[in-house]
């Protein structure tokens, strides 16, 4: 496995009234990137924030790698605004999209990396035809929409399938990931780890990030 471990905390359940402080704390605690959950109240039954907030956050935090997890019905609509907000990676759900390659192209042309996200009910084989256009595949381990939900262990079959077929692909897991579920993710082959509540709710976020990293690195170093 020729991939690197990266830990990207989700700010979803952090204090969103002070997003920049919450984000800085996560980066100072050892996060490799920030996972920003964008919800439109349509693709998922919840609302968070959009490109105006991401742009303000970017002004405060010029250097960190920003991934936006676009839980939106029309991902094509937000490519330019997110590129303008200097987002590094645009991860969108394939479920509401009829022409995935076209969106991948637009995201790349806008200067961002492409992440393809799959809801729990979406079969993993469907991404095979898009894999050459993707920098990363996100396997959701909860139904998207809310933080603090229970990790779905059966999603590890999808992660294992991806790792077996694409040894150098960046594979991200998101939803209910923390110290008690990280070993399952790591052993299945995930190398990009999103963790919300387990990190932002911890008294020592850096300790949690270390635990997540150790688990993934142990597996990567063995292979
Ligand atoms: O995309 C998401 C929810 O749709 C979040 O990134 C995810 O749920 C992170 O929070 P937690 O670790 O608390 O589950
Ligand atoms: Fe997310």
Domain parsing of the chain, residue ranges: 6-221
Any atom of ligand 1 within 6 Å of the Cβ of 37: yes
Q: Which atom of ligand 1 is nearest to the CA of 178?
A: 12
Architecture of domain 6-221: Alpha-Beta Barrel (3.20)
Query: Residue with structure tokens 């100072």?
Result: 28
Helix H or strand E encompassing 53: helix 51-60
pLDDT tens digits in sequence order for the chain, 223 residues long: 689 999 999 999 999 999 999 999 999 999 999 999 999 999 999 999 999 999 999 999 999 999 999 999 999 999 999 999 999 999 999 999 999 999 999 999 999 999 999 999 999 999 999 999 999 999 999 999 999 999 999 999 999 999 999 999 999 999 999 999 999 999 999 999 999 999 999 999 999 999 999 999 999 999 8
Any atom of ligand 1 within 6 Å of the Cβ of 115: no
Distance from C-alpha of 8 to C-alpha of 6, rounded to nearest angstrom:
6
Q: What's the distance, CA 193 to chain centroid? A: 7
So which residues are the catalytic ones? 37, 174
Q: How many CA atoms lie within 13 A of 16 on its CB side?
A: 14
Q: pTM to 2 decimals?
A: 0.98
Complex-level ipTM beyond the 0.95 threshold: yes
């Amino acid at each position: 496995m020729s991939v690197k471990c990266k830990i990207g905390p989700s700010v979803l359940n952090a204090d969103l009234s002070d997003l920049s402080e919450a984000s800085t704390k996560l980066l100072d605690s050892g996060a490799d990137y920030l996972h920003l959950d964008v919800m439109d109240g349509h693709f998922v039954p919840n609302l968070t924030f959009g490109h105006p907030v991401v742009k303000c956050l970017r002004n405060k935090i010029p250097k960190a790698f920003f991934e936006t997890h676009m839980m939106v019905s029309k991902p094509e609509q937000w490519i330019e605004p997110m590129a303008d907000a200097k987002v590094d990676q645009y991860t969108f759900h394939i479920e509401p999209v009829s022409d995935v390659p076209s969106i991948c192209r637009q995201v790349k042309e806008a200067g961002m990396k492409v992440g393809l996200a799959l809801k729990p009910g979406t079969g993993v084989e469907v991404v095979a035809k898009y894999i050459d256009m993707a920098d990363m595949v996100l396997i959701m381990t909860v139904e998207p929409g809310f933080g603090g939900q229970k990790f779905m262990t059966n999603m590890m079959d999808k992660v294992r399938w991806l790792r077996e077929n694409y040894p150098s692909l960046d594979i991200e897991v998101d939803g209910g990931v923390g110290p008690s579920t990280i070993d399952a993710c790591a052993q299945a082959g995930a190398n990009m780890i999103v963790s919300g509540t387990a990190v932002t709710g911890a008294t020592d976020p850096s300790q949690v990030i270390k635990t997540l990293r150790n688990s993934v690195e142990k597996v990567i170093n063995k292979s």
